[in-house]
């Protein structure tokens, strides 16, 4: 049995908005396909070997928790960049997404250092951007899919001019409420504000990440047979309808 090695960074700090559910979905979908998941919690001060994991996950947190782990995460920037450069899939959600940029500036003016994986920075705004959000993505050339989720953030994330967003906003706010884009992608590393959690409503993305984790482990990308995702598709549809009810913003 192939064992996929997943590194979960700071689960004791970055764990709000049910983001642990993303790990549960990955583990369950892996098991349904005859794969094992070896989960390692990586906390403050723990070593991070860029070759040790097949997938890395960073969840969301409040400003207080982000401030507690930001220096430690920033110090891992070289290891995270090295992992991403070799094709290790990374999923960073909300606060984790912000801290994988260059910096996050809080409303107080305090600037938290970032790991520099994503070419972006984030500055807290006065008003929170809250609600269901729907994206259109193209992670594979010519294959457009939708992502549905929930956003709740005051941060305005600005991508560099040459950065690749995760998707185009169909309804909702996205990175900054202005650009029409949400998230960021660098190879197999994905950052997004979508949580609540993200993967139960978007099983295709869970499988996208799993396939690349298996490829990282074995050198070959698997071709997964479809699963009976009736409940997952309904969850996606409900979230997408709520987002569309808010109205397209871009």
Q: For position 250, what pLDDT does the model report? A: 43
Known active-site residue 236: no
Residues 224-238, mean pLDDT to the nearest whole number: 96
As its CATH architecture, domain 3-246 has 3-Layer(aba) Sandwich (3.40)
Query: pLDDT category, 45, cuts 50, 70, 90?
Result: very high
The pLDDT mean for the chain works out to 95
Which is more confidently placed, 16 or 213? 213
Catalytic residue among 94, 153, 184, 236: 94
Catalytic status, residue 94: yes
Instruction: Write the DSSP string, 116-157.
Output: --SSEEEEEEEEEEEEEEEEEEEEETTEEEEEEEEEEEEEEE
> CA 103, CA 131: separation in Å to the nearest integer?
25
Among candidate residues 53, 153, 195, 236, the one labeled active-site is 195
What are 178-200's pLDDT values in tens digits? Answer: 999 999 999 999 999 999 899 99
pLDDT of residue 247: 60
pLDDT of residue 196: 86
pLDDT tens digit sequence for 122-178 = 999 999 999 999 999 999 999 999 999 999 999 999 999 999 999 999 999 999 999
């Amino acid at each position: 049995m192939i064992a996929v090695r997943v590194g979960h960074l700071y689960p004791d700090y970055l764990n709000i908005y049910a983001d642990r559910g993303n790990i549960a979905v990955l583990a369950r979908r892996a098991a349904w396909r005859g794969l094992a998941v070896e989960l390692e919690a990586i906390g403050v001060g723990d070593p991070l070997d860029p070759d040790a994991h097949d997938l890395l996950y960073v969840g969301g947190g409040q400003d207080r928790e982000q401030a507690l782990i930001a220096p430690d995460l920033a110090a891992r920037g070289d290891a995270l960049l090295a992992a991403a450069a070799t094709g290790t899939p990374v999923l960073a959600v909300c606060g984790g997404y912000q801290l994988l940029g260059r910096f996050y500036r809080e409303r107080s003016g305090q600037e938290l250092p970032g790991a520099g994986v994503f070419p972006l920075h984030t500055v807290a705004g006065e008003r929170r951007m809250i609600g269901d959000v729907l994206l259109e993505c193209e992670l594979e050339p010519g294959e457009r899919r939708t992502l549905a989720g929930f956003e709740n953030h005051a941060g305005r994330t600005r991508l560099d001019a040459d950065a690749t967003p995760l998707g185009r906003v169909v309804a909702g706010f996205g990175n900054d409420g202005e650009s029409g884009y949400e998230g960021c992608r660098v190879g197999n590393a994905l950052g997004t504000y979508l949580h609540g959690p993200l993967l139960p409503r978007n099983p295709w993305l869970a499988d996208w990440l799993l396939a690349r984790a298996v490829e990282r482990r074995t050198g070959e990308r698997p071709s997964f047979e479809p699963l009976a995702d009736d409940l997952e598709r309904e969850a996606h549809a409900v979230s997408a309808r709520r987002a569309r009810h808010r109205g397209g913003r871009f």
